[in-house]
Amino acid sequence: MGNILSNGILSVEIAEMGAYTGSRFDWTGFITQVTLEQGKHTFCVPESLIPGQGSGGRGLCNEFGISRAIGYDEVPVGGWFPKPGVGLLQRKNLESYSFMGDYERTLFVAEVEASSDSITYTVQPMECNGYSMLLTKRIAIHQNTLTIDYVLKNKGTKTIETEEYIHNFIGIDGNPVGVDYELRLPGVISIEKPESSYTSELLLTEGERLSWKRQPDRPFYCMLSSDAKGEADFNWELIHKPSGVGLREIGDFPISQIALWGVGHVISPEVFVNISLLPRQSKHWRRSYEFFKHS
């Protein structure tokens, strides 16, 4: 059944742990839908519209270690390494870690405390080759804002070097990607490292705004940067212009990078936070999402 947080303004649907069964995304706080109750506007869509395709993502789901899997390079084939929010994964070959790979896993134990407007996950440590960590994640709503607080504590003897981001699978009211959408960053936007010439040709930037020339018929991917100086009021804002419905993400941490992925039905701005923890150190970071409709 999962959990639903609701305050009359927002309703947030969170999958029960184990509904998502992959080895990529954090099993805790897997947000499958957010509804702005006035107008019943929805924001979350699946990674793929074709059942069984993709990596099982949906809505607001986060991942640790997409490019820096903790301890992976230290273990032989058959050895184990930790994936925060999931468990211990087993290395299956000599190839580099692949976030799309399906790894054998021993799941972490998580405790859950829920109320009508918040839910807290406490993921217990499990020692693995000197790595051990305690992850606490709290999701809460207040008025039109959804907040996710993380605390990661290094309980092991080795330094933890990794990253975390949320793969925001967004499709406002199910509207297809195209000229009706606009993505805004706090500063003049630059497109960097486009995955293909298709991505370069599809996207249009003008000052602090990015738009799509048409509905894409294949995936697009690039990195984004802006010339914003100092601390910005938000990380990104996406709006469906005809309806005025949109959302923005706000973070309390230095941004290490911003990526943009999508296809015909989904837009995914991805904001990364760097994690570097010596033994006994802890890190707290917060992501807030504001959902709105302009009149």
* In the predicted structure, residue 247 carries a pLDDT above the cut 80: yes
What is the rounded CA–CA span in Å between residue 248 and residue 34? 13
* In the predicted structure, residue 169 carries a pLDDT above the cut 80: yes
What is the rounded CA–CA span in Å between residue 75 and residue 78? 8
Token pair of 47 as six digits = 């990674």
Q: With the C-alpha atoms ordered 66, 67, 73, 78, is the resulting torsion angle positive or negative?
A: positive
Mean of the per-residue pLDDT values for the chain?
A: 97
Give the residue from 6, 42, 237 showing the smallest Cα distance to 140.
6
* In the predicted structure, residue 175 carries a pLDDT above the cut 80: yes
Token pair of 242 as six digits = 């005809």
The confidence score (pLDDT) of residue 31 equals 98
Mean pLDDT of 243-247: 98
Give the residue from 290, 207, 205, 210 showing the smallest Cα distance to 251.
290
* Cβ burial, residue 107 (10 Å; 0-12/13-18/19+): middle
What is the rounded CA–CA span in Å between residue 143 and residue 38? 12
Mean pLDDT of 56-82: 97
Query: pLDDT band at 141, cuts 50/70/90?
Result: very high
- Pairing mode, strands 245-251 and 203-206: unpaired
The confidence score (pLDDT) of residue 52 equals 86
* In the predicted structure, residue 85 carries a pLDDT above the cut 80: yes
Could you give the count of Cα atoms lying within 13 Å of 7 in the half-sphere of its Cβ? 13
Q: What DSSP line would sit under 78-133, residue for residue?
A: T-EEEETTTEEEE--SSSPP-TT----EEEPPEEEEE-SSEEEEEE----BTTB-E
* In the predicted structure, residue 67 carries a pLDDT above the cut 90: yes
Mean pLDDT of 135-162: 98
Mean pLDDT of 8-33: 97
The confidence score (pLDDT) of residue 295 equals 76
129: phi > 0 → left, psi -120 to 50 → alpha, else beta; which? left
Task: Please give the model's pTM, rounded to 2 decimal places.
Answer: 0.96
Q: How many CB atoms lie within 10 A of CB 144?
A: 17
Token pair of 281 as six digits = 């150190």
